């Protein structure tokens, strides 16, 4: 069975600073990995996904993530935080392409001026 | 992509009653799922809605409590039966349009049971 662990339930960053959200996965098979963002009172929006192609994945809104098999990690980064990045971020894993996802606990990002 | 409409967007219900949530997609999709997001927590998969047959439930979820229908490739319903305050959550519909594409999510239904 797959699972993901997100380190840090809350992260506070200054506007313009690096955003780094950590995600480690546990999977017995090559995983499909995803990062989703949830803005207040909204559904989930896909930021990016890894499906065994390039290990460095670029997503929307300037986010990217690097798949590191040796570290079983899929950390999300953004070089410069904007106020609009304040939201909750979820890492998710699937053992197949069908959208049956196992989510991490989520990380709430606060951006300070 | 897929545009998902969930109804109702929110509701306040009395304990012991049932609520049916609808999920309508603007195009035919391969897979439909229902998730629950309890207050301050992550998302948990309830079940996979199968067209024309019984849904496939995850551990901890049963058909008597969460009956699901999927009569065609664009529509599904989730019923939360005999509700208690512990059922207060956001319920989200999710769809996959094709192999190797990402899951799209509806806006969710915010349910409060009093």
Three-state secondary structure call for residue B86 = helix
* CA separation for the pair B89, B35 (Å, rounded): 10
Give me the pLDDT at residue A98, please.
Answer: 65
CB atoms under 10 Å from CB of A41, counted, come to 11
pLDDT band for B79, please (50, 70, 90 cuts).
very high
Span B61-77, mean pLDDT?
96
- From B48, B43, B44, select the one nearest B23 (Cα to Cα): B48
The conformation of residue B100, written as its DSSP 8-state character, comes to T
| Joined tokens for residue B76 | 């599904």
Give me the pLDDT at residue A41, please.
Answer: 79
A51–B44 CB contact, under 8 Å: no
Give me the pLDDT at residue A9, please.
Answer: 92
* CA separation for the pair B65, B57 (Å, rounded): 11
| Joined tokens for residue A39 | 């803005």
* CA separation for the pair B31, A111 (Å, rounded): 36
Give me the pLDDT at residue A40, please.
Answer: 85
Size of interface A-B (CB pairs under 8 A): 54
B16-51 pLDDT, tens digit per residue, is: 999 999 999 999 998 899 999 999 889 999 999 999
B80-114 pLDDT, tens digit per residue, is: 999 999 999 999 999 998 766 788 999 999 999 99
**Average model confidence (pLDDT) across chain A:** 91
B105–A44 CB contact, under 8 Å: yes
Give me the pLDDT at residue B101, please.
Answer: 73
Distance of residue B18 Cα from the nearest chain A Cα, in angstroms: 23
Give me the pLDDT at residue A83, please.
Answer: 96
Q: Which of B41, B103, B108 sits opposite A101 (nearest CB)?
A: B103
Give the DSSP per-residue string, B10-78.
Answer: EEEE-TT--EEEEEEESS--SEEEEEEE-TTS-EEEEEEEPTTS--EEPTT--TTTS-EEEEETTEEEE
3-class SS letters over chain A: CCEEEEECCEEEEECCCCEEEEEEEECCCCCEEEEEEECCCCCEEEEEEECCCCCEEECHHHCEEEEECCCCEEEEEECCCCHHHCEEEEEEEECCCCCCCEECCCEEEEEEC
Span B52-57, mean pLDDT?
92
- Percentage of the residues of chain A whose pLDDT score is greater than 90: 73
Give me the pLDDT at residue A27, please.
Answer: 75
CA dist B93 → A54, A71, A92, B77, B109 (Å): 30, 32, 16, 9, 9
A58-80 pLDDT, tens digit per residue, is: 999 999 999 998 899 999 999 99
Give me the pLDDT at residue A97, please.
Answer: 62
Per the rule left: phi > 0, alpha: psi between -120 and 50, beta: everything else, B97 is alpha
Q: Most B CBs within 10 Å: which of A3, A9, A99, A106, as the mutation test of the B interface?
A: A99
A10-53 pLDDT, tens digit per residue, is: 999 999 999 999 999 987 677 889 999 999 878 899 999 988 77
Distance of residue B105 Cα from the nearest chain A Cα, in angstroms: 6
Give me the pLDDT at residue A67, please.
Answer: 93
Q: Which of A43, A97, A106 sits opposite B105 (nearest CB)?
A: A43
- From B28, B16, B9, select the one nearest B85 (Cα to Cα): B16
B92–A101 CB contact, under 8 Å: no
CB B78 within 8 A of CB B68: yes
Q: Which of A43, A49, A106 sits opposite B92 (nearest CB)?
A: A43
């Amino acid at each position: 069975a797959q699972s993901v662990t997100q380190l840090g339930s809350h992260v506070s960053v200054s506007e313009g600073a690096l955003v780094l959200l950590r995600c480690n996965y546990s999977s017995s098979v090559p995983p499909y990995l995803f990062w989703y963002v949830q803005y207040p009172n909204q559904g989930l929006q896909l930021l990016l996904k890894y499906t065994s192609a390039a290990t460095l994945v670029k997503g929307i809104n300037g986010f990217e993530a690097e798949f590191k098999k040796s570290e079983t990690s899929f950390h999300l980064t953004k070089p410069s935080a904007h106020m609009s990045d304040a939201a909750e971020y979820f890492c998710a894993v699937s053992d197949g392409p069908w959208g049956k996802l196992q989510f991490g606990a989520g990380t709430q990002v606060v951006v300070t001026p | 992509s897929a545009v998902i409409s969930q109804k109702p967007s929110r509701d306040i219900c009395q304990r012991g009653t049932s609520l049916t949530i609808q999920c309508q997609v603007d195009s035919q999709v391969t897979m439909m799922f229902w998730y629950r997001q309890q207050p301050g927590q992550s998302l948990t998969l309830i079940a996979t809605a199968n067209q024309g047959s019984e849904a496939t439930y995850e551990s901890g979820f049963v058909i008597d409590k969460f009956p699901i229908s999927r009569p065609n490739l664009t529509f599904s319903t989730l019923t939360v039966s005999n509700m208690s305050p512990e059922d207060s959550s956001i319920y989200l519909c999710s769809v996959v349009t094709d192999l190797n594409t990402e899951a799209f999510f509806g806006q969710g239904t915010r349910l409060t049971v009093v």
